[in-house]
Amino acid sequence: MVRIKNRYIAVQIVPQTPVQTLRLNDSTLSKCLLQNVEKYYGVYGLGLLEHGFRVKYCNERTKIAIIRCIHRGQRYVSSILPLITLIGDVRAKFRTLYVGATVIQCNKFIIKHQKHFLDRMMGQTASAKERQDLFKRVMELDMER
Amino acid sequence: MIRHRYFDVQLKFRDLDSVVLTPVFFRGCVQNSLERFFGQIGGDTTLEIIKFSAEQQRVVFRVPEEFYERTRASITLIGQYQEVPCHFRVLKTSKTPLDFIKEGENENCEEI
């Protein structure tokens, strides 16, 4: 049996103007990325990448997302990320954080990254309730979608 | 030194009278096709027209060696020229310069 190799790309979305949350979901992000693949690599690139392409995780608060693509299409995705300046209707750019072969490794990296983010944000919240909410929102890694 | 691939292409149109056949329009047509199928990054190449004959409807042009497959695919997939149905037939490809009159003389050419 042939094993299909995937690559998981962890990216951070950096908006031009600082905002608390991005009005972004998996489908908007996915549509934006595929549109740009078509723009820069044409119908051939889109056809190659479409199979197995999926946004696995998208956190509006920390602005982190995990993109899954097939192994041989990784170059197409990672090379267009710096060229994207508009995501949905938000003017923003992508920062590639990590490229992994398994979603577990990607999760480990994101948890580490989110812990650093939490350390920074905890100092800025006033009440204990807010801190708990923030912790819950940041650390949720809902991969079921 | 850049290595090139030479193409000898025959242009076939459904209605020849309604098209303006010039080297510039032909080049634009091929480059549009390249961009549509391979995008701004994948389809960006230099296409140099060596010979052009509107009467014979034949063109000899060259592209860098690494764009040979993509150009070949794009030419095959062209279906319209100035909104007139058409198809471009690749008669010959070669690593050495081609000419209309030198048919069959070239040893490195691949006849189709």
CATH number of the domain that residue B67 is part of: 3.30.70.3250
- The verdict on residue A109 lying in a domain is yes
Residue B54: strand, helix, or coil: coil
Best of A41, A48, A76, A79 to disrupt the B interface (most B CBs within 10 Å) is A41
CB contact under 8 A, A41 and B41: yes
Q: What was the pLDDT predicted at B66?
A: 93
Name the residue range of residue B44's domain.
Answer: 4-111
Structure tokens, A103: 């979603």
HEC sequence for chain B: CCCEEEEEEEEEECCHHHCCCCHHHHHHHHHHHHHHHHHHHHCCCCCEEEEEECCCCEEEEEEEHHHHHHHHHHHHHCCEECCEEEEEEEEEEECCCCCCCCCCCCCCCEEC
Residue A1 lies in a domain: no
Q: What is the pLDDT along chain A (145 residues), one digit of tens a residue?
A: 888 999 999 999 998 887 767 778 889 999 999 999 999 999 999 999 999 999 998 888 778 899 999 999 999 999 999 999 998 888 999 999 999 999 999 999 988 888 887 888 777 777 888 888 777 776 665 544 3
* Residue-level pLDDT at B110: 57
- pLDDT of B64 > 50? The answer is yes
Domain that holds residue A87: 6-139
Q: Does the predicted interface ipTM exceed a cut of 0.85?
A: no
Buried b (16+ CB within 10 A) or exposed e, A23-33: ebeeebbbebb
CA distance A105 to A118: 20
Q: What does the pLDDT read at residue A140?
A: 64
Residue A55 falls within a domain, yes or no?
A: yes
> Does the CB of A39 have a partner CB in chain B at under 8 Å?
yes
The CA distance from B31 to the nearest CA of chain A, in Å, is: 12
Report, as an integer, the average pLDDT of B44-61: 92
CATH code, domain carrying A98:
3.30.70.3250
User: B36 to chain A: nearest residue by CA?
Assistant: A42
Interface residue of B38, B69, B71 to substitute, partner A, most A CBs within 10 Å: B38
pLDDT tier for residue B33 given thresholds of 50, 70 and 90? very high
The structural domain count of chain A equals 1
Indicate whether A97 belongs to any domain: yes
- A131 vs B73, residue with greater confidence: B73
Could you say which residues from 43 to 62 on chain A have a Cβ atom under 8 Å away from some Cβ of chain B? 43-45
Identify how many contiguous H helices and E strands chain B contains and give both numbers.
2, 6
Stretch B74-103: mean pLDDT, rounded? 88
Beta bridge partners of B110: B93
In a domain, A122, yes or no: yes
Number of domains comprising chain B: 1
Chain B contact for A41 (CB, 8 A cutoff): yes
Under 8 Å CB pairs connecting chains A and B tally to 29
